[in-house]
Amino acid sequence: MKVLLTGATGFLGAQLLSDFLHRNYQVLIAKRASTDLNLLFQQHGKLEAWNIEGDELDNLYRAHPDIDAIVHAATDYGRDDTKPTTTFWSNEVFPIRLLELAMQYNTALFINMDTFFNSKEMVYDYLGAYTLSKRHFQEWGLHCANAGRIRFVNLRLFHLYGPGDGSQKFVPSMVARCLAGEEIDLSDGTQKRDFIYIEDAVSAITIAMQAEIGQGKGYRHYDIGTGRSISIRNFMENVQQICASDAKLNFGALPTRKGEFKDACADSQMLRALGWSPKVAIEAGIQSVIAAATGRGPLGSGLGDKVV
């Protein structure tokens, strides 16, 4: 299978790249011109990479008109002082251009990595620009698929975690603070999240991809999560206990965010029907993150989630 992958230096993308190469897929990487691939070259040898600026995407497809699937894992979270135009270009303009090329060259499948923040039932202010842009692109994919122009599969990722994630993310940052014995201010912690370990997420994505590759044009949605959620309070108490930490957890010291999801839990029924099930329990996953943070285990890509 020939796959075009975006986001290959990100937390998820790097793991997908390793999995695809292990399966002997021919992988093409679409990246920004400024992206450094040296770490990936060290891990995997020479990789074929194309820049996304200028006419390079058109040149890529001229050289490889027989791409079987696009796996779009690149994203921009719109954090801090990111300009709205930057998030808009990264999360909407760029993938829509990929979608156009996929339709033009009859690519069989477009796999989109969505977010559990993209929910019509709730309005959540946190990462609002990111969520808005992800929703817009998902709706473009739905529109094109319903028009009979492509197979578009939307994968809504729940709370992904594991070794190698960016240090600013919730799980690695909380592990680091517990290991340091800090005093940590938190909300009341009653909100629940579906935490899915990186290896389980990759296996779910690959199974969904294999199931969808020959299905013809149309739209499909999968939730990528375990189907089980735990409270943030329970999660943090697990982290503190496994770290053997004297960190003080100040539940209720922070206000609950406006529009907070009370229980963000995946519907994993479709994945389980394909024979998938999660393998890594939350305690084992936390132990793996702690081992990486303390230098006692694999560090993963170490690159975090970046637009590439």
SS3 129: helix
Q: How far apart are CA 109 and CA 111, in angstroms?
A: 6
Residue 93 neighbours by CB under 8 Å, 6+ apart: none
Which residue among the candidates 25, 61, 77, 130 is catalytic per the annotation?
Answer: 130
CA distances from 60 to 28, 31, 38, 51, 261 (A): 9, 12, 21, 9, 41
Task: Note whether 48 and 75 are within 8 A (CB).
Answer: no
| 130 catalytically annotated | yes
Q: How far apart are CA 44 and CA 46, in angstroms?
A: 7
Residue at 297: amino acid letter: G
195 sits in which H/E element: strand 195-197
Q: How far apart are CA 29 and CA 32, in angstroms?
A: 10
SS3 277: coil
Task: Note whether 16 and 71 are within 8 A (CB).
Answer: yes
Q: Is the dihedral of CA 265, 120, 72, 272 positive or negative?
A: positive
Query: Which of the residues are catalytic?
Result: 130
